[in-house]
Structure 1
């Protein structure tokens, strides 16, 4: 009789979990081992919070576009070529859909010198890596990330990756977009700074809504993104190097 005494509490816990999930369809839930994930924290965050399929499978570009507008108010058009490469490597059996892991094409969305992932040369380039993030975030000052420290972080991480990866391949365009995306999405069109904890949450594959972030009230366009990227690229970073 006592053998089954755990069933009641277990079922009760499951019921409460399901009820909480139903009341908040975008609750953060970490992926399971069988879920498909990408080297891109933004895509992973959308899946972890149910804006695209939580298992990361059979996603179509229209679905992704809708999710990015709903969640970040960010147009998907700047990433059309990266999405097409992902579709070209689709493993879904349908060339118009993809699994998140299909985006793991070297030098496409995944690049050497990632701000939060290992380079492909060292193995796992999909999951958040604390040591890599410690490198990238070492250039931040306090709780705020500015345009200057975002630029210094990007330059420092690239330099450190080049030092240790004999197969390092530079991709300045995608590398420059990473800080531009987080400054724009989490700071706004005319951002000069953003909150460090928001950005760390994002790179850990979780939207920082639980920390108080809300999306931009205006749609963020390719023009906004490239302007932010140019602003960051114009920052002199020589003094940030050891």
Structure 2
């Protein structure tokens, strides 16, 4: 962890910031910016969180001309990721940078770079295709929501069940790296959009899940967590979810 933190600090120090995002009078990024569905010519990624930022105009609505400082600022301000977490995720875009230092959201759909099969909201890549689909499979999200254990919320255990089901049906299992990425995505969403339950685990409302995963839209009334989202917090949630998934795998749920 210290090495990640040091690398993140070095990365942050290398960034220069010129904000072009909707801001409030006190300079904070306005997460209430109007949502607009993407047009056919807008660039989008397999990541609901980044697509959501573009749909609200927090990132450029066309999804193009993105810079690493812009991504870092959006993740830090709109989602309140701490500096280490925001830098870690921002640095993952380095391999997609064009000669002018920018990239577009669709670049992130390059198959098996950071994108992977077994998505909870998108179809797997078709045979022979270089890029994965970025269109939301709304039927898939509806079926995901139906796995809620109480019909009101979606918990770490619910995500574990969903991932157990979708991953056990894969013809080719995810690699260790892909599995690690896939396992951290629901916990990150839970830390950004969810809440803590009495037992310390995390959950989000079904309406929030639908808003973010199905429509790539900030939930009504959303405001960033008052506590910065840290790598440690995401890691703890990931450990709980993976433990539950492993229990399901061991039992051989039918």
Q: TM-score if structure 2 supplies the norm length?
A: 0.74
What's 2:153 paired with? 144
Residue ranges of structure 2 left out of the alignment (5+ in a row): 1-29
Contact kept in structure 1, 2:43 and 2:64, CA below 8 Å = yes
Q: 1:177 aligns with which of 176, 184, 188?
A: 184
Contact kept in structure 1, 2:145 and 2:154, CA below 8 Å = no
What's 2:117 paired with? 112
Q: 1:132 aligns with which of 124, 137, 140?
A: 140
Contact kept in structure 1, 2:42 and 2:61, CA below 8 Å = yes
Contact kept in structure 1, 2:193 and 2:204, CA below 8 Å = yes
* Bigger proportion of residues as helix: 1
Q: TM-score if structure 1 supplies the norm length?
A: 0.77
Is structure 2 residue 248 aligned with structure 1 residue 237? yes
What's 2:166 paired with? 157
Q: 2:53 aligns with which of 46, 52, 66?
A: 46
45-54 or 214-223: bigger deviation: 214-223
State the distance in 1 between where 2:252 and 2:187 align: 18
Secondary structure at the aligned position of 2:154 is classed as: strand
Contact kept in structure 2, 1:121 and 1:167, CA below 8 Å = no
Secondary structure at the aligned position of 1:145 is classed as: strand
Q: 2:102 aligns with which of 85, 97, 120?
A: 97
Count residues in correspondence.
210
Structure 1 residues 241 and 137: alpha-carbon distance in aligned structure 2, compared to 1, 3 A threshold? farther
Structure 1 residues 197 and 24: alpha-carbon distance in aligned structure 2, compared to 1, 3 A threshold? closer
Contact kept in structure 2, 1:49 and 1:206, CA below 8 Å = no
Name the larger-Rg structure.
1
State the distance in 1 between where 2:44 and 2:189 align: 20
Q: Deviations over 1:183-211 (max 9, x none)?
A: 1111247543221110121112433332x
Q: Deviations over 1:32-86 (max 9, x none)?
A: 1111111111111100001111110011011111111221112323324531232
